Amino acid sequence: MTEVNATFRGRLGLQNLTSEGSDATPSVSRLGDLVSQPAGKYYAAAKAGKVFHVTTLGAGVALNVDVEGVTASIVLRNPANSGVDLVILEGRIARGTTGDVGPGAVFWIGMPTGESATLPTGTDLTTHNGYIGGGASRGVGLQAVTVPGTDPRRLRVLANLSEELITSVTAHAAIFDQVDGAIVVPPGAWVGISGEGDAGAVPLLQASITYAEVPI
């Protein structure tokens, strides 16, 4: 086995990356370790204005309880002429202001390009750039959504629901699914969040989707 000695040089501390995929000198800790993502793994893409968030509004939306039905709580649609892939990074759900949750699960669902000529419809949501004040997204966000009658794909489980009656106001962390690019929404396709199970007492759900725009 041949030993190879090499010298690595980097810049100490955080850097202000000006564009995605910047070739800036890598950062090095004071202990000499390579720090590949010193400000968080999405920092460079967010700084470049390529990371977006879409979140439900008001008191929340009804938790759909039939994935194979015709509704979804929140949908992110990629227009056919967008010229980008929408790469899902994270999803989060939290309890809305009213209702009791019945047993079941919450899923990521989606429909590929060309599966149906009917587009999802619902209440428009504003998509927000992760770089505050950055440009608009090409993705379209909707809540309380009517989806095409063709059965959507069950992509992956986002959360488990347990039957729960909340009698007092208690703070809980949002349920978090780190997708990390494992779901890609090409032009003409859509992805959403939908439940399956017992409706409980008409629970309301808050949901958000974080995604990146990647040129095709």
Write the pLDDT tens digit of every residue in 139-170.
999 998 888 766 788 889 888 876 554 444 55
Cα–Cα distance between 110 and 193 in angstroms, integer?
9
| Phi, psi torsion values for 204, nearest 5 degrees | -100, 150
Residues 208 and 75: beta-carbon distance below 8 Å = no
pLDDT < 70 stretches in the chain: 1-38, 101-102, 115-117, 149-150, 162-173, 198-202
Domain extents in the chain? 1-48, 49-215
Place of tokens 């017992």: 198
- pLDDT tens digits, residue range 60-71? 888 777 777 778
From residue 191, how far is each of 12, 34, 99, 139, 185 by CA, in Å?
41, 36, 25, 11, 7
**Strand ranges for the chain from DSSP E:** 11-12, 27-28, 34-35, 51-55, 61-62, 71-77, 84-95, 104-111, 121-125, 128-129, 140-146, 153-161, 175-185, 190-197, 204-215
What is the pTM (predicted TM-score) of this model?
0.80
